[in-house]
Amino acid sequence: MGEVPIYVRITVDGKRQELFTKQWVEVKLWDSRKGRVKGNRESARIINQHIDHIRSRLNVIYNQLQQENRLITATAIKDHFTGNMSNQHSLLEAFQYHNEQMKAQIGRGYAKATYTKFLTTFKLTQEFIKHQFHREDLYLSELRYQFITDFEFYLKTVRKCAHNTTMKYLTNFRKIINLAVTNEWIDRDPFAKFKGSKQEVKRDFLTEEELERIAQKSFTVARLNLVKDTFLFCCYTGLAYVDVARLSLDNISTGIDGEQWLFIDRQKTGSSSQVPLLPPALAIIERYREHPEAVDKGLLLPVLSNQKLNAYLKEIADLCNISKHLTFHVARHTFATTVTLTNGIPIESVSSMLGHKSIKTTQIYAKVVQKKVSEDMKILRTKYTTNHEEKLPVQGYNN
């Protein structure tokens, strides 16, 4: 048998990688136990020195990875040795690549608010890498399933994020990983075994009686009346704050039925929303038609900042004896439940008016309505059961 190639085998946690030494040796001269060439000939000494040099370099790389708190794998050691790491993409590099592309598409497929959320997720990822690994960045090839679970733990404990907020950040992060997998920057998906799910959140909404209580309430302070009207307008149209704040008369047009409709592309999703305007909403529009601030800015309503609206809504809730945590988004929930679904409007129509991309999103409100109906019927069932038992005659049989 002639000469055979000499390989160095790198093994970490049972996983192997082989590295060609670019040296050859006759089989009979190889000492497999010592991993060296037998004998003292010049050719043997040269090969053994080369092997020792490779082993020394591999040990240096291993110690370096350990000191830098990097993930140590057979592949990582081999890549550092061969210089392949210089061609690899880093996690934050991939994140920035994604965010720059998203920024360029704001208003053409992406909302600015969505871009801002990814900037926040980028910042949190950056902070986690420093906290967990004491490094500025990681190579994508270093990511494993544990990175995901440790990131989740970090968000919930160190950053004090609620469960659903944590899941939103991980969903954003997963989009970056999917991009890396698609572009073949990473061989495996660290999310492959991750099963994260959001917890069902209680969505507060106003009952018909509570809605009417606010509508009938008149305040001596002008700002409270403005906040009340803005809130009620969204209760009757289903708009979110970001959408009602930019409404103008251009968004009002005659619909297919000859009545006044609201036409708008939702800022959050970019999806189209078309809502027939109910009499209370039309009355509010008319009330502010000549308001100086609205006219000056070319807006339908003189909307205050979201922060101020929510602060004043707490005051309105107290004055109207409403114990619920009243925020501006409660208006959208109220439209979906009390104003539409409870009054028999089909869920498909409600979904369209809310501008939902998927009817599954609207079904959350349908479940809320069904639960309310169920609770109401339980009370009614108990009432009828009690009355029925009280009125039942005592009967016997005579043989």
pLDDT tens column, 46-84: 999 999 999 999 999 898 878 866 667 787 788 888 876
Instruction: Provide the pLDDT confidence category of residue 108 given band limits of 50, 70 and 90.
Output: confident
Considering the domain architecture, whether residues 115 and 82 belong to the same structural domain is answered as no
Considering the domain architecture, whether residues 326 and 217 belong to the same structural domain is answered as yes
Cα–Cα distances in angstroms (integers) from residue 71 to residues 122, 193, 366, in the given order? 21, 19, 47
Mean of all residue pLDDT scores within the chain? 87
Q: Give the count of domains, the chain.
A: 3
Taking residues 282-292, report their average pLDDT: 93
Considering the domain architecture, whether residues 108 and 71 belong to the same structural domain is answered as no
pLDDT value, residue 387? 63
Considering the domain architecture, whether residues 98 and 75 belong to the same structural domain is answered as no
pLDDT tens column, 268-282: 666 778 899 999 999
Please check whether residue 13 is in contact with residue 71, taking contact to mean a CB–CB distance below 8 angstroms.
no
Instruction: Provide the pLDDT confidence category of residue 399 given band limits of 50, 70 and 90.
Output: very low
Burial label for 250, CB within 10 Å (0-12, 13-18, 19+), is exposed
In whole angstroms, what separates CA 377 from the centre of its chain?
A: 36
pLDDT tens column, 332-382: 999 988 898 888 888 888 888 888 878 787 877 777 776 666 766 777 777
Distance CA 310, CA 303 (A): 12
Considering the domain architecture, whether residues 213 and 325 belong to the same structural domain is answered as yes
264: pLDDT strictly greater than 90:
no
Considering the domain architecture, whether residues 221 and 164 belong to the same structural domain is answered as no
Taking residues 226-241, report their average pLDDT: 94
392: pLDDT strictly greater than 70:
no
Express as a percent the part of the chain with pLDDT over 70. 90
The domain containing residue 232 runs over which residues? 208-332
Considering the domain architecture, whether residues 153 and 216 belong to the same structural domain is answered as no
End position of a domain, from candidates 293, 315, 332: 332
